[in-house]
Structures are given as structure tokens and as C-alpha cells.
Amino acid sequence: MVRPHGGDASAARAENAKAPQIPDFGRRLRELFAPYRRPLAITVSLVLITAALTVLPPLLTEQAFDQGLFPAGGPNLPRLAEIVGAMVLVWVVSQVLGVWQTWLTANVGNGVTASLRERLFTRLQQMELGFFTRTRTGVIQSRLANDVGGVANVLSNTVSSVVGNTVTVIAAFVAMLLLSPPLTLVAVILLPLLALVQRRVGQRRARIATKTQESLSELSAITQEALSVSGILLAKSFTRQQQETDRYAAESDRQLRLQVRQEMTGQGFFASVQVFLLIVPALVYLAAGALLAGGATGITAGTIVAFTTVQARLTWPLMGLLRVALDLQTSSALFARIFEYLDLKPAITDAPGARAVPQDERLGRVEFEHVGFSYPAARPEEEPVPILRDVSFVAEPGRTVALVGPSGAGKTTIGYLVPRLYDATEGVVRFAGIDVKDLQQDALRGAIGIVSQETYLFHATIRENLRYAEPEATDDEIEAAARGANIHGTIAGFPDGYDTVVGERGYRLSGGEKQRVAIARVLLKNPPVVMLDEATSALDSVSERVVQQALEAASSGRTTIAIAHRLSTIVDADEILVLDQGRVVERGTHQQLLRLDGLYARLAAQQSAERDAEEPQPA
Ligand code: ATP
């Protein structure tokens, strides 16, 4: 099965199969943890106190025997009760401290995760429209869900594990050094080797983790594409469900193999480490024998027994530290993916000192001066193709400028340049007399209402969808807007009225109803400029008339840039620009253009012939 994006996915995989690189990884991690200095400091103190408390039970046991149970004059019950009380207290206190510590680390770990997730979402909100046309939604969702979720566990477990195990390891080393420095040397001589091997294993794991996360995002993209309303409609209408299922199963299988590989990478290493740690005591006997044979003093049988006992206690904390180090290295692959998105630079930003839209007589004026535009090329080696060339026009406040022309001529693209969804690559676009690049984006977009080719509605009630345009709107204002957009009657006819849930992306409404909801939204926003993009193209003539009336309400008293295929909808426009291959080839009023007898006249003749053919002939 040939899929349009199949090549992209494999290219992305090949490109990303390298070890993740994060400049300033350490600094960025510290920065993430910086707001949590206090809980971290408390955690470290709690771990230290708990470690110290673990020393007490053996001492208390010794006292229980020597002073409580078997003192010289027979059992001393009051003393025994004191000691047992102290034992109970120690255990209760360490458990309470343990719960407190878990609460702190859970807060820190999840707090850092939440802050990563929120920063990522904020950054994505700032990205320009072009980013979203280039990136699959499922892939974006996966970074937010799988990558951020993946680091959460590591973050929560790392702190307490590192502190607790480090304390034990250091204490054991000190004890070993006190017992015998030469034997300690024998015991630790191979440890740097372990660290070296661990690094390599970690790097391998990180590489596999990168692929695992890519596979997860592919799974997420397939889910999002195949299980959306449009996706399922497409699959059903072309009977491609089996292929969709196979595609999902293949990626799921890849995910399975990668997960197993990731889990198994390092198991051999850990087994070797364990063997190594278990045989070191034997090596210590050998070393002690050699030292004794060489005439060394100060090594008694007691020293060797005590030394190897302490050393055996070292095994698990050391393994714990190695595991944490490995987990951190593995999670660096996830961090790399998160930081890669956090480091994205939005292509369209507010210029320093960007201005508000002036509220004077220029408000509502839209001007294009020798504007040229190319969409960024899909691949860096390709040259961008010019889409608009030398487009100039002025829409005076309250006037209507219509854009017509063959499909692909660049009409929608012109509409994108006004609210800076894309920036013109040549020339200047002015709004209210000011270059749009010098205006605050929010102020600019706040002054423009857009009814686009595709109406997007949230899975919420009609009322909530309308209120999106104006959160403060009262129910009366919402109803007035709906009346203006010719949709109030339809909404009132639904059993739940304005509280009808429109379904995923508004699928429970017809195309014409959705468009009128979109128009009502613009009426509520009440901007000085509206852009209407082919809003009536998909409708029959009755619905078109209803929508047309709504559109007239939307454009009344506002500057209107109307993009239309049906010329009947724009005959009254103050100026009509005829576009062909990105250039304005004709301009004028409907009558002037008909008289010109050029492209517009041809389009008009063609459309009226089509209309005549569609309309029923009199019997
Ligand atoms: P229609 O009447 O069919 O809607 P239009 O005149 O509105 O067409 P545009 O949507 O502006 O045309 O597209 C103009 C050209 O730009 C088309 O050739 C299209 O392939 C190309 N194009 C549109 N969007 C992008 C994009 N995001 N990246 C690259 N090229 C694009």
C-alpha cells in the first residue's frame, strides 16, 4: 500500500537513528529542578536521617540482649521495655519519614514533568501555521504524552535512589578503608572499568530509546489519522480497514521488538556486575593471603570477615546506582526529543516594540504593496516555488474586495498573509496603515474575523463553540449572533437547542450549518475586517442563499476580503481581483470585468452555462 507520508516516516527514522545530542544537558536539568531546591534539600536531609536511623536497630538489639534480657543480675524488664519502646519509635519514625520523602519526590518528579509538558504546549502554541502543515498531529501528541510521560518515572525515582544509595556506598567505603586500605584498593580497582562499560551500555540504550520513542510517535500518528472521523470515513469508503489494521499491527510489532531490546540491553552487563561483585570477596581472600605471606601486619581473620561482610552490603546499592545512571542515560533520549521541541524557534513573532492596532480612521484598511510569497520548500535542498507575485491592492474601510481565479491561483494564500499566518516574502502587507510585521500579532488577529474553507468546531455544545469567539458574551448576544448568521432557527429546532453537543469536529452538523455557526462566531467577535474564504462553495443553491445572507450580515459595515469560486456571490464587490498563477491579471467591478472580456468573463460564462445545465428545464 502506497501512503503519501510513508517516505517521510522512514526518512525521519533514518535521520534520527543517531545518538541524541543535547547541548548543555546538565545545565538544563539543573534549571528544571531549580524551583524545587527546598523540597530537594528536605529530601536529602530525610534520606540522611533515615540512613542514620538504620544504624540504631542493631545497637538497640545488642542493648536488649546485654542490658534487658541477660544482664548480670537477671532480666531487667523496665530497661527492656525502654529499649523495645525505642525500637518501635525508630521504625515508626523511619516509616513516617519514608512516606514524607516519597511525597516530596513525587511532587518534584511530577512537578518537573508538568512544567515540561506545559512549556512544550506553550511553545507549540507559539509555532507558526506552517509548522503544523509540516508535522503530523499524532507525532506532536506523542512528544507531549509519551516522551514527557517517559521521563516522569525516572525523575521521581532518581532523587531518593541516588541519595540513599550514595550514602550507603560512601559509608561502606569508609568502613572498608578503616579496616584495611590495601584490601580496599583491591576491592575498588576494577570499579572504573564498570563505569566505562556502563557508559557504553547507556549510550546503546539511549539509541534504542530514540527509536522506541519514534515508533511510539508513529503509532500515535497512525491512531490519530486512522481513528479520527475523517480517517475512519476514508478507510471505510475505500474499504481500507484491513490495511489500516495491518499498518498499525506492523508498527506495534516494531514497538514490541524495540521495547524488548531496550529492556534486554544492559541485562548482560548487570549479570556480569553481579558476578564481579560476588567474586571480589574471593579475590580479597587471595589478596589478603598474598599480603600475609609477604609479611603484612594488621590483617587478622576478624579484619577479613568484617571487610567481606561490609563489601557484600555494597552490592545492591552499587547496582542501584548503576541502574539509575543507566536510566538517566536512557532518558536523555527522551529529554533530547523534548528539548528539540522546546528549542523550536517560531518563524513568526512580535517585532521588538510591536504596536497595537491604531483605533483611528485607518482601522479596517488592508493594503498589499508588491507582495510576493513562496511557501517554505519541503526539503532544504529544494528551491521554494513562488506562489504570489507582485500583488497590490487596497481594501478601504467598509469596502469589499473579492478574489477570484482558477484553483491554486493563490487566493487562500493572500488571505493567510493579512493575519500573519504566513509572512510575505516580498513587499509589504499593511493593516490600518501599518506593516503587519510591526503590529502585535494578538491585536492584529483580534481585528480580523476568518470564515475559512473548513469550519473547525470543538467537541462541545454549540453555545461553548460560539462563546469561544467572545468568552464574555451573554446568552442574548449569542442568540443575536446566531440570528444574524441565519442559524438560530436551526439551533432552536434541536432538542437540546444551544446545548447540543456538536460532536467531534462538528460532524453532527451539516456543512451549511457548520459554516453558519462559524459566521455567527465572527459576528460575536465583531472585528473591523472579515475574510470569507469560499464559504459557499460546497452548498446547493438554497443553502447557499441562506449562507449568503449570513455572509452579508458578517460583511456589513466591515472591510471584507471575499474569496469565492461562485461569481454570483461577489457581483456587488467594490473591486474584484482576478488571480492567475499568483498574479493579479485583471481588476475592476463585475461589469467592468465582463466588458474586458478576459479571464473573468470566461469564468462567468462558464459558470452561467453550468448553472443553466443544473437547473431543471421547464416541461
Ligand atoms: P482553491 O481555489 O483551489 O482553494 P487557491 O487559489 O485558494 O485555490 P491556494 O490555496 O492559495 O490556492 O494555493 C496556491 C498554491 O500554493 C497551490 O499551488 C498550492 O499547491 C500551494 N500551497 C498551498 N498551501 C501550501 C503549503 N502549506 N505548502 C506548500 N504549498 C502550498
Determine if ligand 1 sits within 6 Å of the CB of residue 388. Answer: no
Same domain for 383 and 321, yes or no, is no
In a domain, 189, yes or no: yes
- CATH code: domain of residue 423: 3.40.50.300
Which domain, by its residues, includes 54? 25-342
Cell of 613: 445545465
Task: Judge if 412 and 337 occupy the same domain.
Answer: no
Is 80 exceeded by the pLDDT of residue 410? yes
Who has greater pLDDT, 274 or 574? 574
Mean pLDDT of the chain: 86
Which atom of ligand 1 is found nearest the CA of 410?
A: 11
Query: Tens digit of pLDDT for each residue in 3-52?
Result: 444 334 443 443 344 545 667 878 888 888 899 999 989 988 988 888 77
Contact yes or no for 517/509 (Cβ under 8 A): yes
Whether residue 473 is contained in a domain is answered as no
Specify the range with the lowest mean pLDDT, choosing from 15-19, 343-347, 372-376, 496-500: 15-19
Whether 400 and 288 share a structural domain = no
How many angstroms is it from 404 CA to the middle of ligand 1?
Answer: 13
**What is the DSSP pairing of strand 426-431 with strand 366-374?**
antiparallel
Q: Which are the contacts of 507, defined by CB distance < 8 A and separation ≥ 6?
A: 229
Same domain flag for 305 and 329: yes
Q: Does the beta carbon of 391 lie inside 6 Å of ligand 1?
A: no
Residue at a domain's end among 289, 314, 342: 342
- Number of structural domains the chain divides into: 2
Evaluate whether residue 540 is within a structural domain.
no
Say if residue 193 is in the same domain as residue 316.
Answer: yes
How remote is the CA of residue 413 from the centroid of ligand 1, in Å? 6
Ligand 1: atom nearest CA of 414 is 11
More confident residue, 617 or 5: 617
579 assigned to some structural domain: yes
DSSP state of 189: T
Which among 72-81, 136-145, 428-437 has the top mean pLDDT? 428-437
Amino acid present at 590: H
261 with 375, same domain: the answer is: no
> Would 220 be classed as within a structural domain?
yes
375 touches ligand 1 (CB under 6 Å): yes
**CA 577 → CA 224, 367, 400, 411, 529, distances in Å?**
39, 13, 11, 10, 18
Closest atom of ligand 1 to CA, residue 579: 6
How confident is the model over 411-457, as pLDDT tens digits?
Answer: 999 999 999 999 999 999 999 999 999 999 999 999 999 988 788 88
Q: Is the pLDDT of residue 255 over 90?
A: yes
Q: What is the pTM of this model?
A: 0.82
What band does 542 get if pLDDT is binned at 50, 70 and 90?
A: low
In a domain, 517, yes or no: no
Give the pLDDT band (50/70/90) at residue 401. very high
The residue among 360, 353, 363, 373 whose CA lies nearest residue 396 is: 363
Q: Is 564 in the pocket of ligand 1 (CB under 6 A)?
A: no
Last residue of a domain, one of 342, 368, 387: 342
Question: Is 409 a pocket residue for ligand 1 (Cβ < 6 Å)?
Answer: yes
Pocket lining: 384 vs ligand 1, CB cutoff 6 Å: no
Q: In testing the pocket of ligand 1, which one of 387, 577, 599 has its CB within 8 Å of the most ligand atoms? A: 387
Give pLDDT, residue 539.
Answer: 60
Is residue 320 domain-shared with residue 361, that is, in the same domain?
no
Residue 175 burial by CB count (10 A; 0-12/13-18/19+): exposed, middle or buried?
middle
Q: 408 C-alpha to center of ligand 1: Å? A: 5
Convert the pLDDT of each residue in 277-290 to its tens digit: 888 888 888 888 98
pLDDT in tens, 166-213: 878 887 888 888 888 888 888 888 788 888 888 889 889 999 999 999
Residue with CA at minimum distance from ligand 1 atom 15 = 408
Same domain, 415 and 316: no
**Residue finishing a domain among 342, 368, 403:** 342
- Domain assignment present for residue 522? The answer is no
Confidence of residue 543 (pLDDT cuts 50, 70, 90): low
- Considering 313-322, 343-352, 532-541, the range whose residues carry the highest mean pLDDT is 343-352
Nearest alpha carbon, ligand 1 atom 20: 408
pLDDT at 614: 65
Q: Judge if 284 and 330 occupy the same domain.
A: yes
pLDDT band at 509 (very low <50, low <70, confident <90, very high): confident
Longest dimension (CA), the chain: 128
Cα distance between residue 344 and residue 341, in whole Å: 5
What pLDDT was estimated at residue 10? 40
Is 253 inside any structural domain?
yes
CATH number, domain at 174? 1.20.1560.10
Better pLDDT: 12 or 461: 461
SS3 404: strand
> How many Å lie between the centroid of ligand 1 and the Cα of residue 447?
24
Residues 389 and 243 in one domain: no
Do 209 and 328 lie in one domain? The reply is yes
Q: 122 and 66 share a domain?
A: yes
Residue 407 CA to ligand 1 center (angstroms) comes to 8
